[in-house]
Structure formats: structure tokens, C-alpha cells
Amino acid sequence: MSTPDNEVFPFKIIPSDSETQKAIARDFAGYPNGLASFNHWGFKLSATFSAGEIEDLYNYPTKPGDVWVVTPPKCGTTWTQEMVWLIANDLDYDGAKTTLSERWHFLDLNALTDKDILAQLAPVRRMEDISQQPNNSSHRAQPSFVKTHLPLSMINPRVLDVCKVVYVARNPKDVCISFFHHCRLLTHVDFLGDLQMFVKYFMEGRMVATPVMEHMIEAWNMRHHPNICFIFYEDMKRDLQSEIRRVAKFLGKSFSCEQVDELAEHLHFDNFKNNSYVNREEGKASGFFYADRGDFIRKGKTGDWKNHFTPEMSAKFDRWMAEKLKGTDLLFTMELEKQH
Ligand code: A3P
């Protein structure tokens, strides 16, 4: 809700054209009301999210010392959340025995979800506190932890003045494949098409939480800001200990080699997948996930795109990436020789 103290959200909301709306409603059962663009390069959220609500997110109360994880979907958000939380909380493994949803506020959950679909899910919701409104959280403990898929341009600049932001990026081919599985797994997204169709939506930036390249390029251009720590999923895969040390330094913490090794072990894919506080398996019982469409913590590999893309799809994707990356020095690791 707009109040005299609120800062005005700087972008105009533009609904997708009617052909796109029809296509979205047909191909994504979770978006019967379609999507809208919420910033200058067309970041898509549910068309049911209002101007007043996005302004509320823009004015989310921030406190010095709060820690944010900002990332497009499927870049390793959940993995990074657990790493960041444990580092910021001096490796409090006992404290980490509550779900991530209890430890982190998911800022834009409602913006990513169609209101009509949310209303259907509401009676069974347990996984996330969907009713939580940002402005209700003024009595939160210090520091607090915020996760968002909103791009930096849609987050109040005040956040970067007073909070620490860890931004995680991932190579777009693996993001796309991971997102495809995710959009089939989530009942409130429920993608009904095939991979080829999905890749088209992804590259055209016509589906929810896209375009992803602009999201990452924008953050890459801000990576030298003292309150941003820009990390790559592939670097976490390659050398998790080094990334732990880098994030620890950023958050003003220092740990022994043994402590870093222990955290890396805790975060290892095999342990993570079996950790009920982070693996979101409860989503199946609560009706958020289909029970028979795989797991949220899925493969955790770099280069899984090679198991999905045909040579033609891959070549087209490469051309698209090259076009988007023109004029930037952002480089992605598309595969790793050795994976842990
Ligand atoms: P895949 O679908 O490629 O397996 P997000 O949390 O942003 O939704 O990202 C999910 C992706 O991160 C999934 O990728 C998931 O398997 C992967 N992931 C989650 N935990 C991981 C871990 N501990 N190690 C490696 N990858 C992990």
C-alpha cells in the first residue's frame, strides 16, 4: 500500500500482449491470468500482482546487517541460502535444524504466483508462509535473511546501502534445463509443453521470472559494489571450500580449515538431498509439488544440458547467448571436468 513514507516503485507494469497471455494460460496451467513485465527489460511476474503490492516489496523494511540472496531461479538459490545462513550464524548446525522457509523470508513468492491458483493451494499450504506480508516483519530477529528472484533493478537501492547481498549466477543452459524440470514439478506453475517449447519461452523471456540473461548481466555490472558478493554455481561445484571462504570474508567471518571442510561436507549434494530441512520434500505432501515428477534437489550437476539439448537446440542457444553477452565480459562455465 502506498503511504507518504513509501518510495515509489520506479517502473510501470506492462501486461503481456494478448497472444502471449493466451499462450501462457494454455502452456502453463499455473498462470490462467498470464504475466506482466515489471521493469525496463521486461522481468515477468504474475499479472495478478498489483502496483501497490510491488511497491510494498520495493519498500520492504531493511536493517543494517540483514543478508539477502538475490538470484534468478535455479541458479543454486537453496544451496546458497544454507551456506550463507550457516556462515552468518557462526556454523550453528543446531539452529539450521528448521526449514529454510522458517529461516528466510521469500520476498517475491506472491509475485511469482497467480492469485487464483494460490487461493486453491491456500488450504493445504504449509511449506511457505504465503500470507506473510513484508511489512508485518518489523519485529524480526537480527539479522534477518531475505531470498528473492527479483533483479537488482527492482530492489530498493537502500538494500545495497545497508545490507549484504550474495548474488548467485549459473550457466544459462543448465538454468534452462533445471527450470524446465522445476516448472513441471510445481503444481502452481504446471508447464504442460515439451522441452523445445520451454526453451523458446526461456530464450524469448516470455515466462515467469525471465529474462534470466538480463538479470545476470545487470548484477555482473554491479559486482564491484562493496555490499555485493557475486558467485557462480559452477565455482561452488568446482571448489566449494574457496567459495565458503570468500562468502565468509564478505560477511566478516573467519573459520578454520576443519570448519570449512565440515561446512562443505554439510553442503555436499548427497547430504543436502537427504537433509529434510532444506530439500523441500514436504512440498509433495503440501500440494506444492507433484509427487511423481522428480525432486526439488534434482541432479546438482554442471553440464546436464548435454543430456537434454539436441545439437541444433544447443547451437541456437549458443547464438542467443552470444548475442545477449555482446559488450559484456561475463563468461559462463558450461561444463566441468571433475564434479564432486
Ligand atoms: P538441477 O535441477 O540442475 O539439479 P534453486 O535452489 O535456485 O532452485 O536451484 C536448484 C538447483 O540447484 C537444482 O539444479 C538443484 O539440484 C541444485 N542444487 C541444490 N542443492 C545443491 C547442492 N548441494 N549441490 C549442488 N547442486 C545443488
What pLDDT digit, counting tens, does each position of 33-44 carry? 999 999 999 999
Residue 123 is predicted with a pLDDT of: 59
- CA nearest neighbour of 199 among 71, 316, 77: 316
Non-local CB neighbours of 212 within 8 Å, separated by 6+ positions: 72, 172, 175, 176, 202, 205
pLDDT exceeds 80 at position 327: yes
Q: Which atom of ligand 1 sits closest to the CA of residue 181?
A: 2
User: Could you tell me how far CA 127 lies from the centroid of its own chain?
Assistant: 16
Cα 297 to ligand 1 centroid, rounded to whole Å: 5
Cα 6 to ligand 1 centroid, rounded to whole Å: 36
* Pocket lining for ligand 1, CB < 6 angstroms: 73-79, 174, 178, 181, 267, 269, 272, 297-300, 304
Non-local CB neighbours of 69 within 8 Å, separated by 6+ positions: 77, 80, 81, 84, 104, 145, 146, 147, 148, 165, 166, 167, 168
Q: Give domain limits for the chain.
A: 14-324
> Coil, helix or strand for 207?
coil
Cα 186 to ligand 1 centroid, rounded to whole Å: 15
pLDDT exceeds 50 at position 131: no
pLDDT exceeds 60 at position 125: no
Cα 18 to ligand 1 centroid, rounded to whole Å: 34
Residue 120 is predicted with a pLDDT of: 87
Non-local CB neighbours of 279 within 8 Å, separated by 6+ positions: 272, 273, 295, 296, 297
Residue 132 is predicted with a pLDDT of: 45
The superfamily CATH assigns to domain 14-324 is P-loop containing nucleotide triphosphate hydrolases (3.40.50.300)
Q: Which atom of ligand 1 sits closest to the CA of residue 299?
A: 4
Residue 135 is predicted with a pLDDT of: 38
Q: Summarize the confidence of residues 160-172 as an average pLDDT.
A: 98
Cα 274 to ligand 1 centroid, rounded to whole Å: 13
- CA nearest neighbour of 158 among 63, 283, 71: 63
Q: Atom 18 of ligand 1 has which residue's CA nearest to it?
A: 300
Q: How far is CA 42 from CA 16, 57, 171, in A?
A: 9, 18, 20
Cα 4 to ligand 1 centroid, rounded to whole Å: 41
Best substitution site from 186, 269, 278 to test ligand 1's pocket, by max atoms within 8 Å of Cβ? 269
